[in-house]
Chains A and B, each alone.
Chain A
């Protein structure tokens, strides 16, 4: 039985991923802001085959509360085989440009809090375990339309890259997940085109990347190609592009 801890468990991608593990009979510890909402998700996961579920409320921006929640997860399950850090918001970029306070809070939610959690989780993991976080293709290059979000995700990606090197010798896999456009409540107001993926497509991609102990997973895979192109546009051209 796999023991899985998910932070940000009410997000659409996290919930879809939890269903994949529930169907495999895993035990799931769910952390998120709204305990009542988590209880509903936990009930669903039990019906879908989860061996065990537990929930705990946490606001990721309250850093002092992190250790207590992690203690609760480890004492509940004894050991954790997979941690998925999946929380996040989609900041209003123009609003962040107008408010330093909002910009830093969003950076905390999408970047710093993940770094804080990963730092606290790393020493608890044993050989064979996986620590995964949902970053984003938006972290590969800053774009005028969402660089606050992108820079926070860039911090996560770079932090995870270093952590992966550090924990490699201990047999712990560190996985950076980079989804492209995903059709979730977070992106409800966007017009959807051919590049948009469904949460359960991304969820199966995450489970496959965990199984294969991959380091970085673009989901769906074609985003790897798209981002190679976008990363290689010279800066003097890129500054004039509207993206």
Chain B
């Protein structure tokens, strides 16, 4: 369980006052200084933190308003989690239209980062499935925003800065049940990833690859390509996985992710699958949310926390850019447990500051080992900037203001929509 006031990477540490939101019809609680809405703290860096200010803890806004099982239109408060939506809707044949790699995010947090999933190439971002939402501002005004409004575009991907979302209406997606038909294909080089991705974009709803970011030379970018589609359950085939969860009960004094553990892990992960192709029916839980099975896994990185780096590189420079990023990482020896690689489709994002855009996205986790890791991340950013790409604010704790402003050129237009009483650690940092 993350304590409110911390982000998932547990870096940076921040102190702020917590003001819970529990009744959507009430005004915002009064606060000194600035405020920022906070969902469930599943952002990695400082975009959900407001050091020295107030966090409006929105998880208490957790009521459903209406659900039509005939059309799949759901209206709910902003603090409802994806896990709660699945628990309610899946038995009735509906699923989230887009989901990130954890089900413990809130609807408000998913809107504010305009999150994407493994189906980006066909379904876009979470914001593409939003019908409307209500925004409550610090002056007490309320606005129901629809996709036709500029305030909608500012708030989708708007990092919580435009006001507090109180409720939202989402179009869910029809599914035959909790099972997916998945295929895992081992590939030996980055170029094979691009070929598999291009081939699968038309044939499969979900695609993603896990790569061994320590492999070099002829094996550069080797990994497993996963593609899947919703499938009718074959009852009796297999029971759904048990919901008993492991947990990381305490924070070890040192990161358990280090040079000693990474190389064998990456090697073993790559070699775990003997056959070049494997097909299986998998339950949605382990398929979409492999890490949700271990509670508080972020503690594994020790007391100094960890940093994620997720970037997207445009199609023209993606192949060489990704190779350059992997080269930097491999040379530094500071590996990531697993690197995630995925091709975004070309559906234009609706938010002024949405991260997804056509190209290839790479996500990596690094334990916070101090200056060396920050230097490596700066080198990665230099590659991203050179390639004309962007870094994902939801997973960032240290990119430069310059990179942010060049990668999100609509920031100036966005700025006019910020609630004058709202701010975040991230925003102050990149506006410096």
Interface, chain A (partner B; CB < 8 A) = 23, 36-37, 40-41, 43-44, 47-49, 185, 188
Distance in angstroms between the alpha carbons of A36 and B88 in the assembled complex: 24
| B63 in contact (CB, < 8 A) | yes
CA gap between A48 and B66 in the complex, in Å: 10
Q: Which residue of B lies closest to A192 (CB)?
A: B3
Decide: A37 near B88, CB < 8 A? Known: A43-B63, A44-B65, A47-B64.
no
Q: Is B23 part of the contact surface with A, judged by Cβ < 8 Å?
A: yes
A185 to B57, CA, bound (A): 12
Chain B positions within 8 Å of A49 at CB level: 88
Are B22 and A48 touching (Cβ within 8 A)?
no
A23 to B76, alpha carbons, bound, how many Å?
A: 17
Contact A185 B65 (CB under 8 A): no
Report if B327 contacts A (CB, 8 A): no
Cα–Cα, bound, A185→B25 (Å) = 16
Quote the shortest CB–CB distance from B142 to chain A (angstroms): 16
Bound-complex Cα distance A114 to B20 (A): 29
Complex: how many Å from CA A44 to CA B77?
Answer: 10
**Given A47-B88, A48-B88, A41-B63 contact (CB < 8 Å):** yes
Q: Is B284 an interface residue (CB 8 A)?
A: no
Within 8 A of A (CB), among B70-99: 76, 87-88
Determine if B64 and A43 form an interchain contact, defined as CB atoms under 8 angstroms apart: yes
Cα(A39)–Cα(B218), bound, Å: 64
Cβ-based interface call for B288 (8 A): no
Q: Is B20 in contact with A185, judged by CB distance below 8 angstroms?
A: yes
In Å, the complex CA distance between A23 and B24 comes to: 23
A40: B residues at CB distance < 8 A? 24-25, 63, 65
Closest beta carbon of chain B to A11's beta carbon, Å:
12
Chain B residues numbered 16-64 whose CB sits less than 8 Å from any CB in chain A: 20, 22-25, 60, 63-64
Cα separation A50 to B425 with both chains bound (whole Å): 42
Which chain B residue shows the least CB distance to A183?
A: B20
A36 to B76, CA, bound (A): 17
11 contacts between A and B (CB under 8 A): A23-B87, A40-B24, A41-B63, A43-B64, A43-B65, A44-B64, A47-B64, A47-B67, A47-B88, A48-B88, A185-B20
Complex contacts, B60 vs chain A, CB 8 Å: 185
Q: Contact between B64 and A48 (Cβ–Cβ < 8 Å)?
A: yes
> Considering the chains assembled together, what is the distance between the CA atoms of A185 and B61 in angstroms?
12
Q: How far is B88's CA from A184's CA once the two chains are assembled, in angstroms?
A: 24
Separation in Å of the A25 CB from the closest CB of chain B?
Answer: 11
A185 touches B22 (CB 8 A): yes
16 more contacts with CB within 8 A, not counting A43-B63, A47-B64, A47-B65, are: A36-B25, A40-B24, A40-B65, A43-B64, A44-B63, A44-B65, A47-B66, A47-B67, A47-B76, A48-B64, A48-B88, A49-B88, A185-B20, A185-B22, A185-B60, A188-B20
Smallest beta-carbon distance A152→chain B, Å: 25
**B32 smallest CB distance to A (angstroms):** 16
Cα-based distance from A35 to B64 in the complex (angstroms): 17
User: For A37, A40, A44, A47, which residue has the most chain B Cβ atoms within 10 angstroms?
Assistant: A47
Bound together, the chains give a CA A44 to CA B22 distance in angstroms of 14
Can you list, as one digit per residue, whether each of B114-146 has a CB less than 8 Å from chain A (1) or not (0)?
000000000000000000000000000000000
Complex interface: chain A residues within 8 A of B88 (CB): 47-49
Tell me which residues across on chain A come within 8 A of B20, comparing CB atoms.
Answer: 185, 188
Residue of A nearest to B68 (CB): A47
